[in-house]
Structure 1
Amino acid sequence: MTREPIVLGMDVGTSSGKVCALDAQGHFLGMESEGYPTLVPQPAWAEQDPALWLPALGRACHRLLVRLGIERSNVRALAITSAAHVGVLLDDALSPVRPSLLWHDQRSQAQALALAEAAGEEIFVLGNNWPTATWTLSHLAWIRHHDADAWKRTRHLLLSKDYVAFQMTGRMTSDPAAAVSALLFDVHSGQWSDRLCGLAGISVSQLPELLPIAGEIGALLPEPAATLGLVAGTRIFNGTMDSTAETFSAGVRREGECVIRLASAGGIHGISSPPRTHPKLISYPYPVAPFWLSQAGTNTCASAVSWACSLLTGDEENPDFSAWSRLAEAAPPGSNGLFFHPYLAGERCPYWDGDLRASFVGLGLHHRRSDIARAVYEGTSFALRDALGVLQERGFVLDSVRLVGGGAKSRIWRDIVASVLDCPVQAAPLADSSAGAALLALVGLGVYASPAAVPAAEPDGGTQLHVPDPGLRALYDEAFARYRDVQGHLSDVYHKKPRQQAN
């Protein structure tokens, strides 16, 4: 059993809870994850039961401690991150009143449009972000109008990571990035906004106390300590949003450094000071002040690969991604003229349109499964290039690009991303939101003076730099232009109501 001091990072992710262990020097020791179901009551809806998050983290934590031989008393601290925008409504008994809407849930499109029409510019000035169906503000507006019983019983609002921290410590807190993700925060005053809360139909008194990123929340209570397999009294520190934590763990510390995220959602992340906001970008405070992170996000990335792999291999429980990658390698660049648009849950940047749907275009009798596999990788890469244009409008330049997320393990996907975006990329295999949280726990303990002093998580022996294939530039430029053209035509189709709905 190791007796060295250990810190843990925990991430309440979109599909699973992850727990990462670092030693006191910030070296990566290991990670475990545990999934939980997402409910889809209607197409394009997505919600989860908050009661499932802490037990999932507990099972992952138990496995990690056993596998690494860590004495629970040697875990000195932990911090928590989560996916953004996921609100938890609590009643008088401090229990959730309904399932939580996830960030890619599209049911609040009408409410988001109404907010944008009534007060879009004001919301953007106060919150640095434009109201769309991804934000908690829009989710609250939907719940208020469509779930009156839950709304009537609501007394408190927490974000998902903050709800788990509350379960652990009994204290309701949040951090500035999570507060921004709710779109209820005034970025100028650094406090919850009375005006934005008023638009949501809640009061500031229903929201948690704001603490700095890496600020101490409290001590782990006995019951959640038993769930996690840790010692009661373990110190709990404030984390932040998963995208900022993951970018932080990848070592992004200056303007020009970028992260491309190949996770459930995709995204291109860069930092700047002052923030380079745009109505089509997502912007959060970054752990390293005074920077802000700008994210050009796509809704389905690795989740699209997982969907296609499961569907076409017939193994929905344990899809073989290595076999899927080998299959894609057998197809030529351009997938023999086959295009895939990965809008399985609508799309974020640059369209912000929940009505878009995924499609394969150009299928013929000559196509094989290998063409379909490669088209999925190329389609998700084209979606990232499409989103990149908005960042470039704001002056961002791709430089020192690190690939993070589960998709970064795929060699063919790394090669395709490099050639489609025409820039060198390098995988950061140990960069993860849970690792970023663990690094913030080290800041909380005083191992590092500030987040700016924290190095990137230790690489595992170095990773290969993937450079664009100059022979593919013209092919992918032409293919991307056709990808955009197809998108424009299909967008009109998806916005036409079926005949049975016309009345």
Structure 2
Amino acid sequence: MSDSPFILAIDLGTSGPKVALVSGEGEVIAADFERVEQIFLPGGGAEQRPEDWWTAIVTATRRLLAGGRVGAADIAAICCTSLYSTTVPVGEDGRPLANAIMWMDTRGAPYVRRLVGGVPSVEGYGLGKLIPWLRLTGGVPTRSGKDSLAHILYLKHEHPEIYRRARFFLEPKDYLNLRMCGRAAATYDSINLHWLTDNRDIHHIRYHERLLQMADVDGEKLPPLVSGLEVLGTLRPEAAEELGLRPEVRVVAGVTDAQSAAIGAGAIENYVTYLYLGTSSWISCHVPFKKTDLLHNMASLPSVLPGRYYVANEQECAGVCLDFLRESVLGMDLPSAEAYRALDRAAEEAPPGSGGVIFTPWLYGERTPIEDPNVRGGFFNLSLNTTRSELIRAVFEGVAYNARWLLECVERFV
């Protein structure tokens, strides 16, 4: 084992946080996971409780430390990565004023469509609004209502008291950093889907007054921008005590999941492409240019790597399709890991092509390569001869087919 100081790495995904002890050379010494609840509400609502994130992180961290592989005194820093396009409104005291509005939530759609609409129109966007957004940010707020800007607009119109009391609207990792060290900040990548920054000079990203005016969002409620490599501070005594760590442990600003996935896959050079599969999925790479594909809802946005852009896209449902299959279709009463192994074995029993059964994985709409929050998934070509194994394999293949569809668009983009 390394003699260098260790890092506590926190990866907050939709299903819950994964927490790992990592050496200075990048070796993962030990890891743990704690699941959190997803809350679905009428009208397209999708939420989680920020307090659940913190409780799960504390639980997983204490289990890791209890394992004895690394002592608390040997941990020098904490760095978070997390899902994004998720909004946590916090008050003056840094506490959440409401549940986090998740990346799947569509309740802000009416307000963002009103915001971006106009005549003449291109793909539902008023031309006079589309041009400055594309010119300044490289993209445009999606009409599905799933971006962070749409979540803020939803709160402003549907919950004005929460909007009024909010000191900051934070992405998940930025909320966790505030909780740990007391400093509110967003990184150049975590702020992307607010669509309120001037990204033309990749070395000088800043909020743009015209975009703030167009969106009618109070810029004072947005956190200061920093590099993901910046050390924000050290652990607050209360956070250190809960985690079982020293207050001297440094808190690094960190990155969003799209950025950490690229680095973890080794895709750090331009055009080196990787496929991410988690609750959702995407295909991305770094590129040396700012570009937008409005038709396929894809853009190159600022990366955590200094002076770089990355190709931003996302498919809503990938690994979560297996959760849906085991819980809602098959009713498997098994622990998650055991259930997934059983699904793997069953899928192996069916031939490629799943006997002609096709599964479309659009269980919560889709973002790319076609944005449609209302499209839905299902099984096709079922017959009385369809087997359980064919149904299971069809879900695996459906996610793969969807990724193949996206790949074609990414190849044309780059």
Q: TM-score, normalised by structure 2?
A: 0.90
2:382 corresponds, among 335, 340, 363, to 363
- Across the two proteins, how many residue pairs are aligned to each other? 395
| Residue correspondence of structure 1 range 305-344 to structure 2 within 5 A | 305-315=322-332, 318-319=335-336, 320-344=339-363
Contact (CA 8 Å) 1:10, 1:18: kept in 2 or not?
yes
Q: Deviations over 1:300-321 (max 9, x none)?
A: 0000112112234423662411
Corresponding residue of 1:294: 311
Counterpart amino acid of residue 134 in structure 2: F
Contact (CA 8 Å) 1:87, 1:182: kept in 2 or not?
no
1:61 aligns with 2:61: yes
Task: State the alpha-carbon separation in 1 of the partners of residues 270 and 333 from structure 2.
Answer: 41
Q: Deviations over 1:262-309 (max 9, x none)?
A: 110011111111134323115432232322111331100000112112
| Residue correspondence of structure 1 range 385-464 to structure 2 within 5 A | 385-395=404-414
Where do 4+ consecutive residues of structure 1 move more than 4 Å?
1-4
Q: Deviations over 1:395-429 (max 9, x none)?
A: 3xxxxxxxxxxxxxxxxxxxxxxxxxxxxxxxxxx
For residue 4 of structure 1, report the CA deviation from its aligned partner.
4.9
- Matched position secondary structure for 1:81: strand
Q: Deviations over 1:185-218 (max 9, x none)?
A: 2213511222333344332222222211211100
Task: State the alpha-carbon separation in 2 of the partners of residues 227 and 15 from structure 1.
Answer: 22
Counterpart amino acid of residue 287 in structure 1: V
Counterpart amino acid of residue 302 in structure 1: G
Gaps of 5+ in 1: 396-503
2:245 corresponds, among 211, 216, 230, to 230
Contact (CA 8 Å) 1:2, 1:71: kept in 2 or not?
no
1:163 corresponds, among 150, 159, 175, to 175
CA distance change for structure 1 residues 256 and 62 in 2, over 3 Å: closer, same or farther? same
| Residue correspondence of structure 1 range 162-241 to structure 2 within 5 A | 162-188=174-200, 189-241=204-256
1:121 corresponds, among 124, 131, 147, to 131
Task: State the alpha-carbon separation in 2 of the partners of residues 371 and 315 from structure 1.
Answer: 16
Corresponding residue of 1:376: 395
- Matched position secondary structure for 2:365: coil
For residue 361 of structure 1, report the CA deviation from its aligned partner.
1.1
For residue 71 of structure 1, report the CA deviation from its aligned partner.
1.0
CA distance change for structure 1 residues 174 and 89 in 2, over 3 Å: closer, same or farther? same
For residue 116 of structure 1, report the CA deviation from its aligned partner.
3.0
CA distance change for structure 1 residues 48 and 316 in 2, over 3 Å: closer, same or farther? farther
Corresponding residue of 1:254: 269
| Residue correspondence of structure 1 range 33-52 to structure 2 within 5 A | 33-42=33-42, 44-52=44-52
Q: Deviations over 1:228-256 (max 9, x none)?
A: 11111211111011111111121112123
- Matched position secondary structure for 1:261: strand
Task: State the alpha-carbon separation in 2 of the partners of residues 56 and 282 from structure 1.
Answer: 33
Task: State the alpha-carbon separation in 2 of the partners of residues 336 and 173 from structure 1.
Answer: 52
1:18 aligns with 2:30: no
CA distance change for structure 1 residues 61 and 288 in 2, over 3 Å: closer, same or farther? same
Contact (CA 8 Å) 1:138, 1:200: kept in 2 or not?
no
Task: State the alpha-carbon separation in 1 of the partners of residues 258 and 312 from structure 2.
Answer: 8
1:148 aligns with 2:160: yes
Task: State the alpha-carbon separation in 2 of the partners of residues 115 and 337 from structure 1.
Answer: 44
Q: Deviations over 1:28-82 (max 9, x none)?
A: 2121111211111126421111122222111111111222521101001111111
CA distance change for structure 1 residues 40 and 6 in 2, over 3 Å: closer, same or farther? same
CA distance change for structure 1 residues 30 and 129 in 2, over 3 Å: closer, same or farther? farther
1:274 corresponds, among 285, 289, 295, to 289
Q: Deviations over 1:443-474 (max 9, x none)?
A: xxxxxxxxxxxxxxxxxxxxxxxxxxxxxxxx
Counterpart amino acid of residue 173 in structure 1: A
Task: State the alpha-carbon separation in 2 of the partners of residues 144 and 346 from structure 1.
Answer: 24
CA distance change for structure 1 residues 121 and 316 in 2, over 3 Å: closer, same or farther? farther
CA distance change for structure 1 residues 43 and 29 in 2, over 3 Å: closer, same or farther? farther
For residue 115 of structure 1, report the CA deviation from its aligned partner.
3.0
Sequence identity (%): 26
Task: State the alpha-carbon separation in 2 of the partners of residues 317 and 169 from structure 1.
Answer: 39
Task: State the alpha-carbon separation in 2 of the partners of residues 90 and 150 from structure 1.
Answer: 9
Corresponding residue of 1:487: none
- Matched position secondary structure for 1:340: strand
Task: State the alpha-carbon separation in 2 of the partners of residues 21 and 257 from structure 1.
Answer: 27
Contact (CA 8 Å) 1:213, 1:238: kept in 2 or not?
yes
Task: State the alpha-carbon separation in 1 of the partners of residues 287 and 190 from structure 2.
Answer: 18
For residue 3 of structure 1, report the CA deviation from its aligned partner.
6.6
Counterpart amino acid of residue 314 in structure 1: G
2:302 corresponds, among 274, 285, 294, to 285
Corresponding residue of 2:121: none
Contact (CA 8 Å) 1:193, 1:204: kept in 2 or not?
no
Task: State the alpha-carbon separation in 2 of the partners of residues 284 and 54 from structure 1.
Answer: 29
Counterpart amino acid of residue 38 in structure 1: Q
Corresponding residue of 1:32: 32
Structure number with greater CO (CA < 8 Å, separation at least 6) is 1
Task: State the alpha-carbon separation in 1 of the partners of residues 285 and 68 from structure 2.
Answer: 34
Gaps of 5+ in 2: 118-125
- Matched position secondary structure for 1:46: strand
